[in-house]
Amino acid sequence: MAQGRRNGTPAYQRIQGAILKRIEAGQLKPGDAVSSERELARIHGVSLMTARHALATLESEGLVERRRGAGTFVAPPKIHFNKLMSFTEQMASRGLPACSKILSSSILDDEPDIAARLALPSASRLIRIERTRQAADEPFALETAYLSAEQFPGLTRAGLERGSLFSALQQDYGVVLAHADEEIDATAADPKSAELLNVARGAPLLRIRQLIFSITGKPTIYMLGLYRSDRHTLLIRRFR
Amino acid sequence: MAQGRRNGTPAYQRIQGAILKRIEAGQLKPGDAVSSERELARIHGVSLMTARHALATLESEGLVERRRGAGTFVAPPKIHFNKLMSFTEQMASRGLPACSKILSSSILDDEPDIAARLALPSASRLIRIERTRQAADEPFALETAYLSAEQFPGLTRAGLERGSLFSALQQDYGVVLAHADEEIDATAADPKSAELLNVARGAPLLRIRQLIFSITGKPTIYMLGLYRSDRHTLLIRRFR
DNA sequence: AAGTGGTCTAGACCACGGC
DNA sequence: CCGTGGTCTAGACCACTTC
């Protein structure tokens, strides 16, 4: 029979799909045993190597754990460390009410450094959006985002008040964000930031400069964030 | 013949080792083609599936890229984002000379908060090691590590001057570290830290508190680090 | 002892890339 | 066209865990 593709999808992907469906439906919970290689091979009418391949790649994606002699088990809930989330998503995931206020939204045409980071010609027109972020009526962050004015015409007036910048890019411009490289350090609050964040001048702030890439690999947003360190800590997980 | 293990190592790992050796020796540079599946199978006297497995897992580890119809190529220089590395490893990977100085090394028995983070009974005896880290003759970090005194007897005097804490744990106690959860914020330098780091009192510092886990999942080291923000930035990459 | 994952064989056909 | 990686078969033995 050769490829057991009934519909163009490789057999091992169909098997993975069947398992993922049961996990998403809640029939399989973390720690539960998944069908064994031999069982999957029998059920789906494939060879052992194919069933094995399905489980092996699910393991490398962190969805299941395999223990020799014991079986294959649904992996513990994935922890959302190091996830690229919009502010709105972050707050929602913590169950906190969030709001943000746009301080300014303008078009610049002489920011060669930032244009370069976005891989644009030096004199490109850029949208700059300055926002404060607050939770529980207290501002805790100041974020300035830069995007290509050419790529996102009309963004300045778009529905940034009602939703997140991330979802606006996706819904209005079809741009899906994939990952961000961030540079993190500490800095002292300058007078303007101090006032906006309601802290003393010179107070330590966490500074995060991030370059956010779309799934096509194109640098899309450059964002500078200043965070009150008494209201915000960054959690990351790193691996060997 | 069944398993082609000549020395207990699986054949696919021997093949990977041979490839990695050539990469490390500089014979293969990023972008260079690696031997094809069929070639590897012939050279090492294994079946195609085995050679394939060797390349497939190297790919999932990000060491090579495979392009259908074209071949397998050494992956571009690995970016060490979000990697758990010892200070010594970090500096070495940047080609910088590094050194550290142990300020104190002592045993404490009344640090219930820290003991709790390490999942130890409140009154556990803890080793505390305070070090400054420096590069180019200037201190840029102050790190305080806490470990179980019971788990690591004699560590205080062990060869921390000659090598890294990470490698000492691995070589002398067989403990291999796997990942770390970190909490990052900004703080102002207190008088003592300011003096040790040679900055003004109140200067902003990047503070990283990390709990480092071994491969067995046991919390093993609690480390508090203070970093001069003018000499050190943290780079991370996050994904959707 | 029975069942599981880990490794391996010696082939096969397909889809794709570059010449 | 030829070589590449992608998928797949129908078995095999080994090492390990669980009972």
Rounded CA separation B227/A22 (Å) = 47
Closest residue (CA) to C1' of nucleotide D14 is: B3
CB–CB of B210/B183 below 8 Å? yes
> Per mean pLDDT, which of B100-104, B157-161, B199-203 is the most reliable?
B199-203
A70 touches chain B (CB under 8 A): no
Q: State how far the Cα of B1 lies from the Cα of B30, in Å rounded to an integer.
A: 35
- List Cα–Cα distances, B33 to A119, B70, B121, in angstroms: 29, 9, 54
At A97, the amino acid letter reads P
Mean pLDDT of chain B: 86
User: What pLDDT digit, counting tens, does each position of B102-133 carry?
Assistant: 899 999 999 999 999 999 999 899 999 999 98
| B181 contacts in chain A (CB < 8 Å) | 81, 235-237
Does nucleic acid strand C have an atom less than 7 angstroms from the CB of B40? no
- On whether the CB atoms of residues B142 and B65 are closer than 8 A, the answer is no
Q: Percentage of chain A with pLDDT > 70?
A: 90
**CA distance, residue B208 to nearest chain A CA (Å):** 9
Q: How far is A35 from chain B (nearest CA, A)?
A: 23
Give the closest nucleotide to B68 (alpha carbon vs C1'). Answer: D5
Q: Are A177 and B240 in contact (CB under 8 A)?
A: yes
Which nucleotide C1' is nearest B54 CA? C7
- Say what the pLDDT of residue A174 is: 84
- Within 8 A of B182 by CB-CB distance, chain A residues are 235-238
Q: What is the mean pLDDT of residues A155-172?
A: 75
Please say if the pLDDT value at position B231 is more than 50.
yes
Instruction: Tell me the pLDDT band of A162, cut-offs 50, 70 and 90.
Output: low
Strand partners, B12: none
Torsional sign, CA A75, A81, A86, A91:
positive
Q: What single DSSP character describes residue B83? A: B
Among the partner residues B182, B205, B232, nearest to A236 by beta-carbon distance:
B182
| CA atoms of A237 and A79, how far apart (whole Å) | 9
The reply to whether residue A187 touches residue B232, judged by beta carbons under 8 angstroms, is no
Q: Which residues contact A6 (CB under 8 A, 6 or more apart)?
A: A14
pLDDT digits (tens, 9 = 90+) for B67-81: 999 999 998 866 666
- Give me the pLDDT at residue A237, please: 81
User: In chain B, which among 144-163 make CB contacts under 8 A with chain A?
Assistant: none
> What's the pLDDT at A1?
47
The domain defined by B11-74 folds into: Arc Repressor Mutant, subunit A (1.10.10)
Tell which residue, A239, A72, A236, has the closest CA to residue B214. A239
Residue A133 pairs with which residues in a beta bridge?
A100, A141
Task: Please state, in angstroms and rounded to a whole number, the distance separating the CA atoms of residues B72 and B55.
Answer: 8
Tell me the average pLDDT across A186-205.
95
* Cβ–Cβ under 8 Å, residues B141 and B227: yes
Q: Protein B46 CA to nucleic acid C8 C1', in Å? A: 8
Q: In degrees rounded to 5, what are phi and psi of residue B92?
A: -60, -40
Same fold, B11-74 and B79-233: no
For residue A220 the two structure tokens come to: 């899309």
Q: Quick check: B25 contacting A, CB < 8 Å? A: no
Q: What local confidence, expressed as pLDDT, does residue B93 receive?
A: 67
For A19-30, the pLDDT digits (tens) are 999 998 989 998
Higher pLDDT, B95 or B23: B23
Q: Which of residues 66-105 of A touch strand D (CB under 7 A)?
A: 67-70
Model pTM?
0.73
Domain range A79-233, CATH class: alpha beta
Quote the pLDDT of residue B159. 62
Mutate to test the interface with A, among B80, B206, B208, B209 (most CBs of A within 10 A): B206
Give yes or no for CB of B157 within 7 Å of strand C: no
Q: What is the mean pLDDT of chain A?
A: 87
| Conformational region of residue B119, where left means phi above 0, alpha means psi within -120 to 50, and beta covers everything else | left
CA–CA separation, A49 and A51 (whole Å): 6
Written as six digits, the tokens of B62 are: 């990000």
Cβ within 8 Å, pair A81-B234 = no
Express each pLDDT in A101-111 by its tens digit. Answer: 889 999 999 99
Highest mean pLDDT: which of A5-19, A136-150, B88-102?
A136-150
CB contact under 8 A, B235 and A181: yes
Tokens of B163: 């090598």
Q: Is the CB of B2 under 7 A from strand D?
A: yes
Span A53-82, pLDDT tens digits: 999 999 998 899 999 999 999 998 766 666
List chain B domain ranges. 11-74, 79-233
* Per-residue pLDDT tens digits for A170-192: 888 888 888 899 999 999 999 99
Angle, in degrees to the nearest 10, between helices B48-60 and B11-24: 50
- Band the pLDDT of A8: cuts 50, 70, 90: confident
CA distance B215 to chain A (A): 10
Contact between the CB of A40 and strand C at under 7 Å: no
Torsion of CA B146, B151, B154, B157, to 10 degrees: -20
Q: How far is the CA of A38 from the C1' of D15 (A)?
A: 17
Whether B157 has a pLDDT exceeding 70, the answer reads no
Q: Is B82 on the interface with A (CB under 8 A)?
A: yes
Q: Grade residue B198 by pLDDT with cuts at 50, 70 and 90.
A: very high
pLDDT in the model for residue B56? 95
The predicted-structure confidence for A118-127, as pLDDT tens digits, reads as follows: 999 998 999 9
Q: Give contacts of A233 with chain B, Cβ < 8 Å.
A: 183-185
Between helices A11-24 and A37-44, what is the axis angle to 10°? 110
| DSSP letter string, A169-185 | HHHHH---EEEEEEEEE
**Res. B99: pLDDT tops 60:** yes
In chain A, residues with a C-beta closer than 8 Å to the C-beta of B207 are 186, 229
From the Cβ of A37, is strand C under 7 Å away? yes
CA-to-C1' span, A30 to D9 (A): 32
Q: Is the dihedral of CA A90, A215, A143, A131 positive or negative?
A: negative
Query: What percentage of chain A has pLDDT greater than the value 90?
Result: 55
Q: What is the mean pLDDT of residues B215-236?
A: 88
The backbone torsions φ and ψ at residue A130, rounded to the nearest 5 degrees and listed phi first, read: -105, 130
Handedness of CA A228, A233, A234, A238 (dihedral sign): positive
Q: How far is CA B46 from CA A16, A150, B90, in A?
A: 28, 55, 38
Residues 6+ apart with CB under 8 A from A178: A84, A213, A214, A215, A217, B239, B240
Q: Does A94 score more than 80 pLDDT?
A: no
DSSP at B154: T
Q: Is the CB of A45 under 7 A from strand D?
A: yes
Measured between beta carbons, which residues in chain B are less than 8 angstroms from residue A205? 186, 204
